[in-house]
Structure 1
């Protein structure tokens, strides 16, 4: 008998199998020793307590904890269910009542799970009694007692597990399924000894295929609500709480494990759930999933799926960190494994509402993974499947914000960055970010940087400045800055962005000076040096920038941003060998880098065939032509040998003059060679018509450095003669040279000389000088002032075309450029130019000249540009004032 005191006995029947209890057998089981009594004591008064009719039962000793499975009594309809009411079953029911009334009270009760068969659809479902509420045992002569156990209901050592403690006011951790009742249903009873149960009936999966190691499903009547099964101190996974604006997409509000690590195999359900979910949220999701699978009594199928999602989230996080720290071709292996695991989980989850929050969280994980993988379009597509009112982690929002910026969608990026920043600055941490909140994670200053660039890419300088102010206000005092960890470089990030903001808003010299000052304080910081080189390259000094990039790559050979910057500067400087080497080095290893994406875009445009055309139509300048139209088009091949292209060139013109109508068509084929500072172009041409002839055209340019460029050209069949000259069957040869000094993108001086010999022996010469200075720059506006001086001379006096012996012109032009629209790489700029000056023609005196011009310039993806506009001008020719209107269009189309 002493040995029997420590023995526990559990009566278990196979899953989904009905066992009919013979009355003598039940009496024998009840009357037999240790399974129903620990010490053989009998107390008649405790019979009613077991039946639930005499108040709350007393607590059992802590060292005598039974293995318990909840009892559920099936209630039958007045019409017997398919497997109901045999004489043996009725005898069994009667014998059980006798046994409950007469047998001694056991201190170590065995409780049996009763899994009912699916009742008729019209059967009502009564609510279960609270554990401390007395209720009569509801029995009908037609209702058999069924014994069943759900699949996987007990872990291997379940017979020795302690039970959780239930208070008088709390519901059981996972109440047993509600039994169907008859048309006049009596109250169902749920027995509960004082010693709480170790294995409450499992929370069942509502529908669909169960996940591996998950509890078996419990049948549910059609038209009846599912049973409530809240876990202690937790919300039902994914439930929308009253008054909540967003869908709850995660499980219990647990962020850390229990202070003292319990034995998860023997702890009560509440302790197990808190510790497992806390472990999962704090970086141990894989271990938490293993622990949860070992305790199917405490975790539903949805809980298991949720823990699998948190484990995948942990894989995504680790894979992202790996990809950021590596430069080899296998840097995405971890992310790829996480994506495969996410696909597998998604396929195994049933398409039922209770799994929707898990799918939402999984979509957030995939968004982070795809963005880290560089598959930005898929990241955006995945993110946009998430309901707008669902909880989304900060890292998922940040990732899709980066993807939107990458895809030139700064407006959408702006919205998600703002939402992420609101969540990041809220207290406590939002539930959806669990699993990303330990260790290095997306911080508010990183979100503000993304928000800053989203405003810059939209041309919203004022909003960008406000973000910088917020960033500065959020920084701790300098004396409190940590010298280790990610916070160490926060001030450096802030001052770098301030310098870049100055450059963007037109204060280029101040911005570059600020970067140089930062570089003196942190001379080996890669981000500062890359920003400095980018700024220099943007000032039309690509060769100087190339030297800076190469020097920095000596100290930072693994800097992807530095290498991409070198490639872009090399393209600008026509150093295609360097650009090709950069492209081969980067290969497809860094699709997630915005800098690499910018270089690849420009490099692919360079590698593409290109079509360019300039169209013009002029009306009203009768001294030259009453109406005229010209088209000048080139089609360039793909480059070969890094530096060579072949091209075809077609010029077409048509004019109406007082001497008659005239048209001119000239085609040619040639080659284009560009190698660093040298550019050479040559073509063989043929003009058509009665005056057609074969000729050639060539040009050469050489950049001495980033400031000085010299060029020259030669044409044996010039297209720029006056239209009346062509009408008189006159053609000409021409040559020109020029020198350009370009200090930066704000100041330029050009001097040129041209000479032409016409077939009528006229020698035409012209000299011109142009100086341009930007006088105002802001984020969206620029104002340039130009001064143009020129003089022409001709040797023939009686030519049939406008041919002054000598003339002079001086004009000043003010050009205002306004950015009307900006979206990442794309934009629309409006340019308005007004020009005024004087014109002097020998023999006809001095007169005023003026012009006004409106132009729209579009920039699209893949370096496609389109510009068009109109111009009105007034000019005196041989003392007669002429006014003309001109329309023009230019296209540059890589394809």
Structure 2
């Protein structure tokens, strides 16, 4: 704190020294009395009285340098740092080094405070922060000092400015520099530092900083919310939920002012409720989050944050059109709300309306280039719109079935598919190469198929068309086309047709027989926990055989934890062939029923990167006409590495004991794949 006693002593000495040199208009005795009065007011921190006395004295002696200096310093003491700084700049030679540093520091601190105010528009909201940083840099240049040599007060205020401007990496580096020099930052800076550490994806560093901020001032709602998300990002979801529950319990929904006839809403309780719902959502408990947010919307439908948060939960549950309704409400309530517009962007991408997502993306990126959520949006946009690559390889071996397996003794497949960037918000050009090899008992086949085509995605419609040719010259040039329609957030149906279908039996192909196909499919996704599919297809082989197939499958979430999902699996299958005298596996009738369990666990995650492993086990009963039924077990184990936005590398091993024509086999397979893009 600034010590006023030396200045008071100076005022007293000045009374005697200047008594003999006072101007005629202001005699020595009244001047000495005025200075004594001013000194007394200042000694007792009566700044307004001191300033009034100075103003009266300056009327009599406007050129008095001591009074001028007292006026500037007193203005600074009462908080009018800007006016004090203006007067100081007019006559800087009147002030010593310590006083100059204090006046400059007060002025810069005032600029920092002004920069935190809500700006009149998105385009100008950071103008005051930019101007304050420029003033701070000019001050350092005038004194010939670097940031590291600047007074601690300047360095502290600089952290607030950099955080406000979204220059979070600089905040982190300068904060670390202060600690390395043995300068712990004051408590009032901890929330801003914690925010920047979170923005630079360092939750482990942010946690102790935010904990210290809350210990110093438990009433900071922003620090409490930020700490909960730091726990969540550091993979301590239970700790985050417990923190928010304690906060929720400590805050009543309504508060009463003394003498009031009605209560007023307690906004910290709203923050606790909202963040608890969202942390639950990010931890996988979407039904509870949805229920809590819908109750909040019923109470306060005009709240922008609640509407956009409910939209986020709807989007996470797989309902983008339903989410868009909430985002539109939030955007109407507050057109400048960033989360609502980010949600609109995500929803438009999911409903295949890039033409509507693009202007939102461009506007947000121009206005908020340093905001982490906007930067994530931009990364997802570039991954979605850019080149798409998929490379894959797999191989398997069958044994124990007498060499008659329709899969062959050894089978392999590898290939690559490349999609162009999105054209006209609807189209992608596609090229692919695919080689399949199968070794049967006496023969082998390994056609390389090369093809090109296009995919169309816009609104509710999706379509594709391809032309391809295999180098084994079996069959004609292949053609395929498909069309699908999204009836709602939950229902999708499609139809595909192919000539010389590459998915037809490889046993048939080795005998020179190809097939055309047609297929219908319907998908129902109630939410992220339930998925049901139904399909029917027919292969029309060159030899006159018709193979009809009907399948249905369901996946149902059985357990959800922050890092573990357990799904129950079930499927039914039935098919029939019109001929039984063909040189490939073609049962007159067969069917199967299968149930299984899939455990998906996240072992490591750091924002957009993660490592997961999955174990799937199942058992089914397969029946084939003329051969009876048999139990068929299977298992699969996989690893998934997400290396960044839209970059996934996965590999796995699978094992099964299928039965064909009454002969049980053992099949072991390996596969790996790399996806680059969306």
TM-score, structure 1 normalization:
0.65
DSSP 3-state at the match of 2:431: strand
Is 1:724 paired with 2:500?
Answer: no
State the partner residue of 1:139. none
Is 1:617 paired with 2:395?
Answer: yes
Cα deviation 1:311-350 (Å, max 9, x = unaligned): 334323322324xx44432332212212222322333444
The offset of 1:581, in angstroms, is 3.0
DSSP 3-state at the match of 2:417: strand
534-543 vs 379-388, greater mean Cα deviation: 379-388
Partner residue of 1:374 out of 166, 176, 180: 166
The structure with the largest alpha-carbon Rg is 1
The offset of 1:396, in angstroms, is 4.6
Q: Evaluate the alpha carbon distance shift between residue 320 and residue 836 of structure 1 in structure 2; reply closer, same or farther with a 3 A threshold.
A: same
Partner residue of 2:241 out of 462, 465, 468: 465
598-607 vs 833-842, greater mean Cα deviation: 598-607
The offset of 1:420, in angstroms, is 2.9
CA distance in 1, matches of 2:431, 2:524: 31
CA distance in 2, matches of 1:257, 1:542: 62
The offset of 1:707, in angstroms, is 1.5
Partner residue of 2:198 out of 405, 408, 421: 405
Cα deviation 1:46-77 (Å, max 9, x = unaligned): xxxxxxxxxxxxx9996983449xxxxxxxxx
State the partner residue of 1:308. 104
Relative to total residues, which structure has the larger strand share, 1 or 2?
A: 2
Is 1:604 paired with 2:382?
Answer: yes
Is 1:710 paired with 2:507?
Answer: no
State the partner residue of 1:514. 292
The offset of 1:682, in angstroms, is 1.0
Q: Evaluate the alpha carbon distance shift between residue 518 and residue 691 of structure 1 in structure 2; reply closer, same or farther with a 3 A threshold.
A: same
542-551 vs 700-709, greater mean Cα deviation: 542-551
State the partner residue of 2:128. 334
Is 1:533 paired with 2:316?
Answer: no
Cα deviation 1:716-761 (Å, max 9, x = unaligned): 1222234333333332222211111111111121110111122333
CA distance in 2, matches of 1:721, 1:583: 44
Cα deviation 1:425-455 (Å, max 9, x = unaligned): 5xxxxxxxxxxxxxxxxx6211011111122
Q: What pairs with 1:143-542 in structure 2 (closer than 5 Å)?
A: 261-262=50-51, 266=66, 279=78, 284-289=80-85, 299-300=96-97, 304-305=100-101, 307-322=103-118, 325-350=119-144, 356=148, 358=150, 360-388=152-180, 389-393=182-186, 396-425=189-218, 444-472=220-248, 475=251, 478-480=254-256, 488-542=266-320
755-764 vs 669-678, greater mean Cα deviation: 755-764
Partner residue of 1:545 out of 299, 316, 323: 323
CA distance in 2, matches of 1:382, 1:676: 48
The offset of 1:266, in angstroms, is 4.8
Cα deviation 1:639-678 (Å, max 9, x = unaligned): 1211122121221222333233321211211111111110
Which runs of no fewer than 5 residues in structure 2 stay unpaired? 1-8, 22-27, 55-64
DSSP 3-state at the match of 1:729: coil
State the partner residue of 2:672. 889
Q: Evaluate the alpha carbon distance shift between residue 277 and residue 737 of structure 1 in structure 2; reply closer, same or farther with a 3 A threshold.
A: same
State the partner residue of 2:617. 834
State the partner residue of 2:603. 820
Partner residue of 1:763 out of 531, 539, 546: 546
Does the Cα contact within 8 Å between 2:251 and 2:268 map onto a contact in 1?
yes
CA distance in 1, matches of 2:30, 2:414: 92
The number of aligned residues is: 640
CA distance in 2, matches of 1:494, 1:680: 45
Q: Evaluate the alpha carbon distance shift between residue 816 and residue 364 of structure 1 in structure 2; reply closer, same or farther with a 3 A threshold.
A: farther
State the partner residue of 1:207. none
Cα deviation 1:497-520 (Å, max 9, x = unaligned): 222233334443332122121112
Q: Evaluate the alpha carbon distance shift between residue 609 and residue 445 of structure 1 in structure 2; reply closer, same or farther with a 3 A threshold.
A: same
Cα deviation 1:273-298 (Å, max 9, x = unaligned): 9967755xxx5443454577768787
The offset of 1:359, in angstroms, is 5.3
CA distance in 1, matches of 2:11, 2:660: 118
578-587 vs 304-313, greater mean Cα deviation: 304-313
The offset of 1:610, in angstroms, is 1.4
DSSP 3-state at the match of 2:344: helix
CA distance in 1, matches of 2:353, 2:300: 30
CA distance in 2, matches of 1:309, 1:546: 48
Does the Cα contact within 8 Å between 1:670 and 1:681 map onto a contact in 2?
yes
Which runs of no fewer than 5 residues in structure 1 stay unpaired? 1-58, 69-106, 110-157, 166-194, 199-231, 234-255, 426-442
State the partner residue of 1:638. 421
CA distance in 1, matches of 2:598, 2:145: 62
The offset of 1:542, in angstroms, is 0.5
CA distance in 1, matches of 2:257, 2:277: 21
